[in-house]
Amino acid sequence: MTDAPAITVTGLTKRYGGRAVVDHFDLQVPRGAIYGFLGPNGSGKTTTIRMMCGLLTPDAGKGSCLGFDILTEQARIKERVGYMTQKFSLYEDLTIRENLDFIARMFGVRDRRNRVRAALDDLGLADRATQYAGTLSGGWKQRLALAACMIHDPELLLLDEPTAGVDPKARRDFWDEIRKLSARGVTVLVSTHYMDEAIQCDFIAYIAYGKKLISGVAREIPEMIGLYTYRVTGNDISALEARLRQEEAVAQVARFGAVLHVSGTDKAALDALAARYGKDGSHRWERKEAELEEAFIYLMGGAADNFAGAAS
Ligand SMILES: Nc1ncnc2c1ncn2[C@@H]1O[C@H](COP(=O)(O)OP(=O)(O)OP(=O)(O)O)[C@@H](O)[C@H]1O
């Protein structure tokens, strides 16, 4: 990542039918960063991302993307953006190579033949170049979609829930590719509901009801929320889980197999609870650092009001 931000926006606002679906949104995205946009359905993630990249004109606000004004230089930005939507939108009755060649033509890519060959090699698609896109598995289709949106060598990549419906191995492989692109300086904006996508991001912005509630370095988000966590193991964990959910000091209980991660925002109250529950020795209570996983579940659980003051 370099010092000059890839994107800086302030006060971005969009209204539909008199309702602000994005309300005074500010953000800076470092170049080469993977920036995740999280939030409930309809919270305004896609609308925000599209405005940040000059794909949609805001009703208010301003900003720059890749050095261009998002209000007056949208065409210049668009040339430099690759957009991977959730829906596979390539031609199923063309081969992988034909699809890439077609997209390269559309973008007027110079030295098209070599560029297509490089794209096939980069994403491990060369062996399947003559296979029809319609016969590919979900993971390979997604790889092809990524190759297609990178064919014109964009500086900015937009991903809309990129690994929805793809198996875990393919998801990991996909994220390896995204990391490589980021290391090469490509900035990546990802809109997602999925924890395993969120934890791949360097930075996170959480949006609800059109407002940004929190944003920052992903690993610092738990601390920004002020989340404290205990790891609990022992007998009859299901019964304990049910009891803990009734406790006021407990904001969240997340179960990972036979282990509970018990989190709260009031450290003293949670410590007291842990001491009380740990006294009879039937469960082991250990303090653990709250991780993005807990924070993500907490955020998605709609516990927004408790940390609204921490928004940056
Ligand atoms: N062109 C449009 N006309 C009218 N309303 C729209 C339009 N685009 C989006 N909206 C509304 O704006 C709100 C925000 O939508 P947006 O797609 O940005 O949310 P999102 O967080 O990306 O949702 P999801 O996670 O479901 O994709 C929603 O209520 C949506 O219905």
Confidence (pLDDT) at 96: 94
**Residue whose CA is closest, atom 30 of ligand 1?**
42
Nearest CA to ligand 1 atom 28: 42
- Report the range out of 65-74, 216-225, 273-282 with the highest average pLDDT: 65-74
pLDDT at 88: 64
How high is the pLDDT of residue 287?
A: 95
**What pLDDT is attached to residue 46?**
92
What pLDDT shows up at residue 308?
Answer: 43
Average pLDDT, the chain: 89
The ipTM of this complex is 0.97
Q: How confident is the model at residue 304 (pLDDT cuts 50, 70, 90)?
A: very low
Query: Is 229 touching ligand 1 by the criterion CB < 6 Å?
Result: no
**Residue 234: half-sphere exposure toward Cβ, Cα within 13 Å:** 16
**pLDDT average, residue stretch 274-299:** 88
The percentage of residues in the chain with a pLDDT greater than 70, rounded to a whole number, is 96
How much is the pLDDT for 306? 37
Name the pTM for this structure: 0.86
Closest CA to 90 of 125, 124, 133: 133
What pLDDT is attached to residue 167?
83
Q: Is 89 in the pocket of ligand 1 (CB under 6 A)?
A: no
Predicted confidence band of residue 258 (pLDDT cuts 50, 70, 90)? very high
Average pLDDT over residues 188-202: 89
CA distance 126 to 149: 17
Confidence at residue 51, expressed as pLDDT on a 0 to 100 scale: 96
Which ligand 1 atom is nearest residue 39's CA? 21
Show the tokens assigned to 160: 């809309």
Set out the domains of the chain in order of their start, with CATH numbers: 1-80+154-219 (3.40.50.300), 90-153 (no CATH), 222-310 (3.30.70.250)
Closest-CA residue, ligand 1 atom 3, reads 16
CA 73/CA 10 separation, integer angstroms: 17
How many other C-beta atoms are found inside a 10 Å radius of the C-beta of residue 49? 23
- Pocket lining: 237 vs ligand 1, CB cutoff 6 Å: no
- Using a 6 Å cutoff on CB, does residue 47 contact ligand 1? yes
Ligand 1 atom at minimum distance from 43 CA? 21
Tokens of 114: 């070599």
- What was the pLDDT predicted at 307? 38
Residue 27's nearest CA partner among 293, 58, 42, 182 is 58
State the DSSP string of the chain.
--SSEEEEEEEEEEEETTEEEEEEEEEEEETT-EEEEE-STTSSHHHHHHHHTTSS--SEEEEEETTEETTT-HHHHHTTEEEE-SS--S-TTSBHHHHHHHHHHHTT-TTHHHHHHHHHHHTT-GGGTTSBGGGS-HHHHHHHHHHHHTTT--SEEEEESTTTT--HHHHHHHHHHHHHHHHTT-EEEEEES-HHHHTT-SEEEEEETTEEEEEEEGGGHHHHHT-EEEEEEES-HHHHHHHHHT-TT-SEEEEETTEEEEEES-HHHHHHHHHHHHTTSSEEEEEE---HHHHHHHHHTT-GGGGGGG--
* More reliable by pLDDT, 22 or 295: 22
Residue 46 CB less than 6 A away from ligand 1: yes
> 45 in ligand 1 pocket by Cβ < 6 Å?
yes
Distance between first and last Cα of the chain:
21
pLDDT exceeds 60 at position 9 = yes
What ligand 1 atom has the least distance to the C-alpha of 50?
A: 18
Indicate if the alpha-carbon torsion angle 9, 146, 100, 153 is positive or negative: positive
Residue 263 has pLDDT above 50, yes or no: yes
The mean pLDDT of 53-70, rounded to a whole number, is 96
User: Does the pLDDT of residue 310 top 50, yes or no?
Assistant: no
Q: Is 182 in the pocket of ligand 1 (CB under 6 A)?
A: no
| Ligand 1 and 192: CB distance under 6 A | no
Residue nearest to atom 6 of ligand 1 (CA): 16
Percent of the chain with pLDDT over 90: 63
Nearest of 133, 103, 122 to residue 173 by alpha carbon:
122
Q: What is the pLDDT of residues 133-189, one digit of tens each?
A: 999 888 888 889 999 999 999 999 999 888 877 888 888 888 999 999 999 999 999
Q: How confident is the model at residue 128 (pLDDT cuts 50, 70, 90)?
A: confident
Average pLDDT estimate for 283-294 = 89
User: Once rounded to an integer, what is the mean pLDDT over residues 251-274?
Assistant: 93
Q: How confident is the model at residue 305 (pLDDT cuts 50, 70, 90)?
A: very low
